[in-house]
Amino acid sequence: MSTRLLPITVEGTIQAKPERIVERWPKRKGRRAGVEVLVKWKGMSIENASWEDLDDIKSHFPNLEGKAFQGGQLL
């Protein structure tokens, strides 16, 4: 059995990429409505999924911009 290590930045933090959106949840951002998403990260277990602001995910992962979320899978 082999274990795949997660990529680590120069600063020593894990550089994970989103694998899929598990769940969506509406939220308020001041006077605006927003969306939080539960992100399952590549190479990590579902227990390590985290709630993230959808706009933040789109800004950190611009290659996802304009791509469809289909059945939770990032296409």
SS (H, E, C) the chain: CCCCCCCECCCCCECCCEEEEEEEEEEEECCEEEEEEEEEECCCCHHHCEEEEHHHHHHHCHHHCCCCEECCEEC
* pLDDT at 52 (0 to 100): 93
**Its pTM surpasses 0.85:** no
Give the domains, in start order, of the chain with CATH numbers: 18-74 (2.40.50.40)
With pLDDT > 70 as the criterion, what percentage of the chain qualifies?
65
pLDDT along the chain (75 residues), means of 10: 54 79 88 90 91 90 61 53
Distance CA 46, CA 18 (A): 12
